[in-house]
Amino acid sequence: MLLFRPASTLEKRTRTHLLLGLALASLLGLGLWLGPQRLPPRDQTLPVSTCDLNRGACSVRLPGKGVLQVEIAPRPIPVLKPLQIQARLGGLAATGVQVDFSGVEMDMGFNQIRLKPTAPGQFAGQGNLPICVTGAMNWQVSFLIEAPGGTLAVPFRFTTGN
């Protein structure tokens, strides 16, 4: 009497398909579990701050526990003159900070400045704004905070030449 009978070709194929399906489902599950940990950093832009850099330093609460304090001098912010730019971060480890100036109503070209670290959480640099032939100009300055989780843009608006 036979206790085990040899498997038929159909049974062998069914087992093989079942094992392949299980392996594929395991790989898919592993990919879904590890995927978010391996994604590239995500960029985020905060809403435009209501603080006016022409009047003084501005502070903004960042997602999580961080705070960004920025200042541009002299005030009011002039065109074609050296600007001293400072950024101080609390509660967020940044690897770098850039400043991007752009015209709100008019393209003013590429105006980006990389700030240099001066102390832990502090960055500073110098730049200037091009002149606008129409007189008053509305600007948006975005402080681009480079952190391990991605780049966070913190925008402010101000007017020159009024």
CATH number of residue 80's parent domain: 2.60.40.10
Residue 109 shares a structural domain with residue 95: yes
In the block, tokens 């489902």 appear at 25
Question: Range of 26's domain?
Answer: 8-39
Instruction: List, for residues 31-50, the tens digit of each pLDDT value.
Output: 555 444 443 445 899 999 99
Same structural domain for residues 33 and 49?
no
Number of domains in the chain: 2
d(CA 147, CA 5): 64
Q: Which two tokens stand for residue 141?
A: 């300055």
Residues 142, 72: one domain?
Answer: yes
> What is the per-residue pLDDT for 96?
96
Domain-embedded: residue 3: no
Instruction: Give yes or no: residues 112 and 126 share one domain.
Output: yes
Cα three-residue angle 92-65-123, rounded to 5 degrees:
30
Whether residues 19 and 67 share a domain: the answer is no
Identify whether residues 30 and 94 lie together within a single domain.
Answer: no
Query: How confident is the model over 96-112, as pLDDT tens digits?
Result: 999 999 999 988 888 99
Domain for residue 120, yes or no? yes
Give the distance from CA 18 to its chain's centroid. Answer: 45
* Amino acid 41: pLDDT: 46
Q: Does residue 83 sit within a domain?
A: yes
**Is 80 in the same domain as 137?**
yes
3-state DSSP assignment of residue 34? helix
Predicted pLDDT of residue 130 = 85
**Burial state string for 53-92 with b = 16 or more CB within 10 A and e = fewer than 16:** beeeebebebeeebebebbbeeeebeeeeebebbbbbeeb
Q: For residue 21, what is the enclosing H or E element?
A: helix 9-38
pTM, full prediction = 0.72
Verify that 13 and 72 share a domain, yes or no. no
Q: Are residues 150 and 127 in the same domain?
A: yes
61 and 92 belong to one structural domain: yes
